[in-house]
Structure 1
Amino acid sequence: MNDKKRTSYPKEKINILLLENISEQAVQNFKKAGYTSIKRIGGALPEKELIKEVKEAHLLGIRSKSQITPAVLNAAGKLQAIGCFCIGVNQVNLNKATANGVSVFNAPYSNTRSVAELVIGLSVMLIRRIPDKNKAAHEGTWLKESKGSYELRGKTLGIIGYGNIGAQVSVLAEALGMKVIFYDIATRLPLGNAQSRKSMKEVLQEADIVTLHVPETAQTKNLISAAVFKHFKKGSILINYARGQVVDLDALALALQNNQLSGAAIDVYPVEPEKNGDAFHTPLQNLPNVILTPHIGGSTEEAQTNIGEDVSLKLINFLETGITTGSHTVPELALPLQEGAHRILHIHKNVPGVLSQINTQLSSHHINILAQYLKTNDEIGYVVLDVNKNLSKEAMSLLKSIKETIKVRVLY
């Protein structure tokens, strides 16, 4: 099948809106696939402005700053999919996206290495107290001393959250001679000689350096609080390159001032500036042996290229074949192309009898189904139908008439 004809809707009329300086790699992938109506906006937009911009969009690409609220999704009547060009999807109201039949994709693995390398680098800098020595040198003071400076080798790294990034950090840390222990709410297979612990408290009491790699959920909000800091090993170090709500920063500042902790590195914050150059405040500013970075844990050229490649290809595959592998909203289906047929996508409320209605409607009008695929989640069902080409318009009309229908689309 000719790629230029893969979608029945003219590719030049498919509107793609990309916010927050998404990688050029994504733009090039869309153009190579034949999509030319691409609008790029440098930063995130306030809700009112985003509502205006998204009305004609078929695809929306964002990073972590854009907030895709129910109001935005309701305004986006043509929207087929959202690409989160980052690890998380918590900036999208997934319940509303699911109800509206909008597929949401992300890139959960593409910047793993970038974050993991930086965590190891920060560990070296903090355990050697480089921030203090660097500051003194810039101020014209020679601070050549070994007091309070240590090697990583032989120290214990505690990892809270042993997912993709946590596991990668584990491998790198062990290569440097560290002992690795971890805690995760899910059962995880340890890599190398890493050892799991039964509770977070056990990890905190034993680790010289603690690094957090957990998602932002109701359960992880203020996961590290004033009460929890009491369990940290005296003089240990905390690194948070996960999510901004995970650590109580006021409590962290107090723990540093009381010498419960000897250092910290923080990349994410409960409230972050909208754009470069905006004012930024945190209780951790001007504390000794603290490294503050502006949410750049995964911000490397390699990571952004990989993310641009990954998410754009997922969006293109969804548009052209109906493949939803990696979607957080529409049930996952990966299906082969059916030659000599038209493919129709039907997203509906997940209630009993819809598939029966689909089959009854089509069979009663003598429309032959060449192939059919169905998958459901708690909220919606996703059906892919391959039908005879000369009957696809009639089938489309019949499927739209089914009461529980959310979206119907002819692919090719």
Structure 2
Amino acid sequence: MKVLLLENIHEVAHEALVDAGYTVDTRSGALDETELIEALEGVDMLGIRSKTQITAEVLRARPELQAIGAFCIGTNQIDLEEAAQAGTVVFNAPFSNTRSVVELAMAEIISMARHLTDKNAALHAGVWDKSAKGAHEVRGRSLGIVGYGNIGSQLSVIAEAFGMHVSYYDLDDKLPLGNARRCDSLEELLQSCETVTLHVDGRNGNAGNFGAEQFALMRPRSLFLNLSRGFVVDLEALRDSLVSGHVAGAAVDVFPSEPKSAGDPFTSCLQGLPNVILTPHVGGSTEEAQYDIGRYVSAKLRDYQSTGATTMSVNVPGVTAPQAVGDTRILHLHRNVPGVLARVNTILSEGGANIDGQQLSTKGEYGYAVTDLAGSVDQAVVDRLRALEETVEVRLISTL
């Protein structure tokens, strides 16, 4: 079993996969499409972060790839539907770096409210400017959170602990935590809050959603943060709002185009503007978060290989599969149409297989069956399962 880990994934993942008996190759940066296809020769499982793009072309060129671990929250860099069609299971880490992003957001809100980056730059330049002008406490001020998921909702609680009045807007009807107030529209939130922070996901519908029209709706001299997805915000429109003074400060951690590796050059239209904090996509980049992500996702990859478990997979049905109760376990990913399980069991029965246990889960277009058998199974039975019109992937795990 061979694993390729890209983009400086925490060493705990490397150690866990080596301990599981796999051969692990690591590379520090992201790979482009051609490089990735070449590097995936003979690879069974792949680990990436946010830069490497897993396109349909990559998946079609390497159909033997069994699983992908996204060692981050987002999976928009992966063609999830093409991966499912190829029988490649995808896992991510939806919760592991939540606290790290929340802490960065609060730090940046306070830094902008107090103009700390400007004060710091002035003092490094030898200018002593001990003035309270333009510096404010965050206590009593209003925070508008766009996207009330894992990060947005935890930020809501932390911001309230600082004494802020929290409002939020989400496309889904989510219950508020603490004293947070739900807004019925994005416009309502923008017009009522002094600080606006984005924590939306990577769905295509969010691309370019925040531009000149949205900045114009914000209150004069408000603060703006984007720690979610780079393609959501029109940075030129943000620059215009900052230069005009309509937006008093901004913190941006994600960009529409980002360098592949550490040390590569970076340019942005926001560079050089006062009270603007630019960070290199480090919202989840703490030692604690990266350790937890490395531990969590590597465990998902290991468990999928050893037991067929797909719990928390983002593109196939989730099955919690403990150690096999029989001698052979058959994993069958298939199209979710009526009668598939009956046909699978008919093939097993006609092949003389004795079923010790079975689990089935469905999700959208796909179904996933985990079947434990007593004894071994003939190759002819496996070939018949693969030949089923609805079959996407068949894999065997033997304890014999």
TM-score (norm 1): 0.93
Matched-pair contact (CA < 8 Å) for 2:307–2:324: no
Counterpart position of 2:11: 24
Query: 1:276 and 1:234 mapped to 2: Cα distance?
Result: 37
Matches within 5 A, 1:3-402: 14-35=1-22, 37-391=23-377, 393-402=379-388
User: Following the alignment from structure 1 to structure 2, what is the Cα–Cα distance between the partners of residues 369 and 138?
Assistant: 72
Q: CA deviation at 1:347?
A: 1.4
Segments of structure 1 that go 5 or more residues without pairing to the other structure are 1-13
Following superposition, the deviation at residue 26 of structure 1 comes to 0.6
Q: Deviations over 1:294-327 (max 9, x none)?
A: 1111100000000001101111111111111111
Q: How many Å apart are 1:80 and its aligned residue? A: 1.0
Dislocated runs of 4+, deviation >4 Å: none
Worse-matched range after superposition: 48-57 or 105-114: 48-57
Moved more, 264-273 or 352-361: 352-361
Greater alpha carbon shift after TM alignment, 370-379 vs 380-389? 370-379
Whether the 8 Å CA contact 1:362–1:398 is kept in 2: the answer is no
* Deviation for aligned residue 1:351: 3.4
Distance 1:377 1:130 in 2: 49
Measure how far apart 1:202 and its partner are.
1.3
- Cα distance in structure 1, aligned partners of 2:300 and 2:378: 25
Q: State the distance in 2 between where 1:390 and 1:284 align.
A: 63
In the alignment, is the contact (CA less than 8 A) between 1:267 and 1:295 conserved in 2?
Answer: yes
Moved more, 187-196 or 343-352: 343-352
Identity %: 49
> What is the root-mean-square deviation in Å for CA atoms of aligned residues?
1.4
Give ranges in structure 2 of 5+ residues lacking alignment. Answer: none
Whether the 8 Å contact between 1:98 and 1:379 is mirrored in structure 2 is: no
Q: Deviations over 1:2-56 (max 9, x none)?
A: xxxxxxxxxxxx0111111111111111122232x10111111111110011121
Q: Secondary structure at the match of 1:230?
A: helix
Change (3 A) 1:170 1:233: same
| Displacement of 1:339 | 2.7
Residues 332, 368 of structure 2: 8 Å contact kept: yes
Contact 1:16 1:58 in 2 (8 A): yes
Looking at structure 1, the residues matched to 163 and 364 of structure 2 have their Cα atoms a distance apart, in angstroms, of: 46
How far apart are the structure 2 equivalents of 1:197 and 1:350?
38
Q: Could you give the per-residue CA deviations for residues 220-267 of structure 1, whole angstroms, max 9, x where no partner exists?
A: 112211011111011000010000011110000000111111000001
Aligned counterparts of 1:365 and 1:88: Cα–Cα separation in 2: 43
Q: Any conservation in 1 of the 2:334–2:393 contact (CA below 8 Å)?
A: yes
Give SS of 1:410's match. Answer: strand
Counterpart CA distance in 2 for 1:394 and 1:125 is 66
CA distance in 1, matches of 2:128, 2:351: 87
Q: How far apart are 1:86 and its partner, in Å? A: 0.3
| Matched residue type, 1:151 | E
Q: Which deviations, in whole Å up to 9, do the C-alpha atoms of 1:377-412 show, x marking residues without a partner?
A: 333221111112133545323322323322111112
- Cα distance in 2 for partners of 1:157, 1:360 equals 59
Hey, what's the Cα distance between the residues in 2 that align with 1:211 and 1:66?
26
In structure 2, C-alpha distance between the alignment counterparts of 1:304 and 1:336, rounded to whole Å: 26
Q: In 1, Cα distance between the equivalents of 2:324 and 2:250?
A: 55
Paired with 1:177 and 1:255, the residues of 2 have a C-alpha distance of 27
